[in-house]
Each structure stands twice: as C-alpha cells, then as structure tokens.
C-alpha cells in the first residue's frame, strides 16, 4: 500500500530525516514510536503528501507521488489519504455531520452521496445521536471520533494518525484504539499511527522505532 525509499528532509541547516525506508501492507496497522523531535511528525506529513521530502520517493497504492505537481498531489490526497491529528481540528461553526462531509465536498463528490456516507460513518462510530451537534457540544472522545469519520469519508487507501489519542484520557484512548482495529476488520483499512501510547503500540501489527531521523531496529 505504501513504500517510502530513502526519505531525507532538511529544514535549512537542520537535517531531520536521514534516509528513512518503510513499507506498509494493505490492512496493516503499524505504529511509529520514538522520542520527541526524532522526526515522526515530519515523516508522517511527507508520507501523507502534506509536506515534500528533500530527497527520496513515496509510492502509495502503486502510484509514485510527484511532489512538485501541487494540484495533482492535492487531488490524490483528497481521494486516497485520511488524517487524524492529536487535536481534532474540527471547524467550530459546522455540525459533526458537516465536518465529516467537508473532505467529500473538497473531492468534488455529490453532496447527497457524501451526506449519506457521513451519517453512516458517524452511526457506525456511535455518534448517531450527535449528528447535528457542533464540536464544542461534544466530549473530547466524541470530537476525536468525528475526526476519524472525517478521515474516512473518501474511503482512503491509508489513514495517517499523529498521536490521535495524545489528548484523551485512557478510557477514551482505548475506545479509539479499538475503533481502528474494528475499521481494519470491516474495511481492511490501513493505518500508520504515531503514538506515545504503549498499549496501542503493543496492539499494532508492527512497531517502528524512530530515533534521530532514522528507523532503528
């Protein structure tokens, strides 16, 4: 599903990624762990086409990402990639269901089809009674589940999650972790998750250790 080859990233003088190689199979749930500042978020942003590598190659679903073709990359991202961040980044003036719909609208899909799928996803994630609530009327766990539904609205090939439960208490964190595995079971959904949560890392199919811009064994 994803292959990254010899990924390097420089920020001015700072060498953040120093030749990362990575392969993720379809339906795999892999965790990236490592100290703060080791380059985990930078790597995830590059793999998710939100940022460009200074050097190296990323292939997703058999397609090589041409990082210089901005519009093409944005279209690819809209259709094939989902993101969940530590903070939900839901838009406060939109309802739960509208927030979930937004990436579907951006991908140019039919409004009705997107709305139906959004409701279906939210119901599946236990938020059927919260469809019309705005984010500030939802609990932290609920907000993060809305963010997961939003990540899934376009049936992405892969979902990248950057410390998705970093802001949740342990009960809500556990629930969200379980959700990832349920989604894998149901859709064979692929996940690459940066986490400091030991329990989630241990549950995942594979733990990738990152240190000082490199994958270590």
Residues at the site binding Mg ion, with contacts judged by CB under 5 A: 40-41
Q: Give which of ligand ADP, Mg ion, none residue 11 binds (C-beta under 5 to 8 Å, depending on kind).
A: ligand ADP
Q: Give which of Mg ion, ligand ADP, none residue 37 binds (C-beta under 5 to 8 Å, depending on kind).
A: ligand ADP
Residue in 38, 86, 143, 195 binding ligand ADP, rule: CB under 6 A? 38
Q: Which of 30-46 are b and which e, b meaning 16 or more Cβ less than 10 Å from the residue's Cβ? A: bbbbbeeebbbbbbbbb
3-state helix, strand, coil in the chain (%, to 5): 40, 25, 35
177 is an interface residue for ligand ADP by CB under 6 A: no
Report the distance separating Cα 192 and Cα 32, nearest Å. 7
11 is an interface residue for ligand ADP by CB under 6 A: yes
What is the smallest separation between the CB atom of 149 and ligand ADP, expressed in angstroms? 25
42 is an interface residue for ligand ADP by CB under 6 A: yes
> 164 Cβ partners below 8 Å, 6+ apart?
84, 85, 86, 144, 147, 148, 176, 193, 195
Residue in 13, 14, 171, 202 binding ligand ADP, rule: CB under 6 A? 14
Sites of contact with ligand ADP (CB under 6 A):
11, 14, 16, 34, 36-42
């Amino acid at each position: 599903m994803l292959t990254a080859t010899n990924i390097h990233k420089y920020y001015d003088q700072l060498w953040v990624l120093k030749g990362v190689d990575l392969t993720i199979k379809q339906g795999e749930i892999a965790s990236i762990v490592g100290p703060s500042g080791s380059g985990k978020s930078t790597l995830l942003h590059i793999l998710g086409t939100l940022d460009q590598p200074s050097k190296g190659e990323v292939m997703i679903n058999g397609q090589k990402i041409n990082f210089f073709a901005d519009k093409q990359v944005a279209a690819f991202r809209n259709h094939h990639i989902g993101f969940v961040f530590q903070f939900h980044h839901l838009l406060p003036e939109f309802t739960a269901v509208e927030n979930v719909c937004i990436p579907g609208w951006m991908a140019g899909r039919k409004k009705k089809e997107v709305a139906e799928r959004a409701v279906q996803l939210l119901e599946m994630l236990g938020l059927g009674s919260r469809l019309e609530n705005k984010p500030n009327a939802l609990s932290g766990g609920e907000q993060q589940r809305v963010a997961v539904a939003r990540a899934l609205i376009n049936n992405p090939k892969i979902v990248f999650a950057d410390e998705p439960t970093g802001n949740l208490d342990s009960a809500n964190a556990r629930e969200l972790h379980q959700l990832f595995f349920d989604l894998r079971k149901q859709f064979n959904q692929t996940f690459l998750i940066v986490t400091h949560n030991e329990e989630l890392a241990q549950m995942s199919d594979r733990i990738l250790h990152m240190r000082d811009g490199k994958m270590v064994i």
